Amino acid sequence: MTPSYTNSFSGKGVFPSRYAFTLLIPFRNIFLSPNQLLKRLDLREDHVVLEIGPGPGYFSTHVAKRLTYGRLVLLDIQQEMLDYAKKRLDKKKVTNVDYRLTDGHCLDLEDSVFDRIFMVTVLGEVDNKDGYLEDIHRILKEDGILSISELAGDPDKLSLAEVQSLVSAHGFAVKDVFGSRFNYTVNFTKRTTAP
C-alpha cells in the first residue's frame, strides 16, 4: 500500500485521510455493521487483535470494547488516520488499543501474536499482497483467524473468488463465508496440511 495522497474520494488506491469523516457515516451499516463484524470475528474477551487499515476507527471502538482483557492493535500507512482513530477512541475512553504506523511493504510485528487479524475493504489497496499475506501467516497464532471483508462500492474491491485464491495460496484455508458476493466476509485459518 503505497500512499497516494492525490487520490480522489472515489478513486482506486489508498483512501485519502482528508476524507476520513465519510467513513464514519451510519449508512455504512447497510453493507456491514460493527455488530455484524463482531459476530463474524467470533472474539473472546482476552484476544489480541490486529486491524489492518482501520481508517478513522469505524469498527475499532466496538472491537476494542469486546476485548475486556485483550488488546487491539491498529495498523495503518497514514499517520493521519491513526491520529483520527486515536482521537475518537480516546473520546470514548477506550484504552486497550495500540497504534502502529507501517510502510505498506511489510508487517514488522512479532511472530504468532494475534488471535484475530482483520481488514475491511483494505486488501485491494495493498500493493504487496503476497508479502502482506506471508507476514500475516507468520504473525497469526496457529489457531487464529484471518478475516477479510469486501463491500460493494469500493473501487478496489476484490471478488470472493479472487480473495479465496490469493489467500489460500499463502497457507490458509477457508473457514467461513458470510454475506453475498456483493458484501462478504471470509474467514481463514492456517492450513494444517498441504493443499
Instruction: Give the predicted TM-score (pTM) of the model.
Output: 0.87
pLDDT at 13 over 70: no
- Phi, then psi, of 41 in degrees rounded to 5: -80, -25
Could you tell me the CA-to-CA distances from 35 to 38, 43, 119, 166 in Å, in that order? 5, 12, 15, 27
Angle at 141 between CA 136 and CA 147, to 5 degrees: 55
pLDDT for res 56? 85
Rounded Cα distance, 195 and 164, in Å: 13
Q: What is the DSSP letter of 24?
A: G
Topology classification of domain 32-190: Rossmann fold (3.40.50)
Residue 29 confidence class, pLDDT cut points 50, 70, 90: low
Q: How many CB atoms lie within 10 A of CB 113?
A: 16
Using CA of residue 128, residue 133, residue 134, residue 138, what is the dihedral sign?
A: positive
* Extents of the domains making up the chain: 32-190
Instruction: Give the count of alpha carbons within 13 A of 20, CB side only.
Output: 21
Confidence tier at 154 by pLDDT (50, 70, 90): confident
